[in-house]
Amino acid sequence: RYQNAQEEAILAAGQQKVMEQRREALVTDQSLVTAEREEFAMGEECTDFNQRSAGLEAEHQRITELYENVESLIRTALPVWRRVFRLVQDERHRDEEKLLDRLIQESVLQKYDDPEFLSTVSSTAAIIFRYIETEAVPIRNSFEKSLFSTTDAYVDQISSAITTWQNADHALQGEKHLLATHPTAASLGTFDTRIGEIVRDIRHLDEETGRNQGRNIHLDREKTDAMKVITEEMHELTDGTLTVQGIDSYPEESA
């Protein structure tokens, strides 16, 4: 038992050494490829790509702000729409109720990019302002007053905000496609693939190393247990006068 554990421990130690050397080589490869990528990305052939990428980030931020403006207008409009909807329900104007319900539901679901949404905003404007102008629906704060000033201004504000956001977003998607097909993107992608493969190999190797270390701990316990048995047997056979080389002997019990 001890001999088997010893042989396996020697084999495991050899495997551990090989894995350590392999990991060092992989880490070196990762550093080299990363440095090559950084050098390539700083080169003249990447200038156009880098400038476009920077512009893309700025445009993405602008589109986020445009979308937030749309959301802000809808948040202002929703309470007014709901007030009108309740009155329309009470008065049993079924067709108008359906239109307003669609407007509210599409807003709650944030379906601002649906072509039908702007159509619904426009088709319900007259209904909404009928109740506003008769003061059946109160306008309660400065934000609502700014948005619901007149029918045309109300429709124009929402339509302009959504159209500006949609046009900018469509342009951004087109620029993203151009960047994705840019020759530099393919080269950078090759570097990224190589780096990803190395990182994956390091991760797998670390997992294997962990399993091997666990095996070593188990083998050490096996050796210790086996030597305890051998030591005890030698003590019994020699009345404690002989010890096993390399293993501490158990103290003899006092008489």
What tens digit of pLDDT does each residue of 22-52 get?
A: 889 999 999 999 998 988 888 887 888 888 8
The token duo for 122 is: 């426009």
Global model pTM greater than 0.75 = no
Q: Which residues contact 213 (CB under 8 A, 6 or more apart)?
A: 16
Segment (H or E) for 221? helix 183-238
Whether the predicted pLDDT of 237 surpasses 80: no
**Cα separation, 81 vs 91, whole angstroms:** 15
The single residue listed with the structure tokens 């316990």 is: 221
Q: Could you tell me which of 110, 125, 109 has the C-alpha nearest to residue 165?
A: 110
What tens digit of pLDDT does each residue of 196-236 get?
A: 999 999 999 888 888 777 666 666 666 666 666 666 666 66
Whether the predicted pLDDT of 100 surpasses 80: yes
Domains of the chain, by residue range, sit at 2-45+183-238, 47-171
Q: Which amino acid is at 49?
A: F
**Cα separation, 227 vs 234, whole angstroms:** 10
Give the number of other CB atoms < 10 A from CB of residue 227. 18
Segment (H or E) for 17? helix 2-41
pLDDT at position 250 is 41
Average pLDDT, the chain: 85
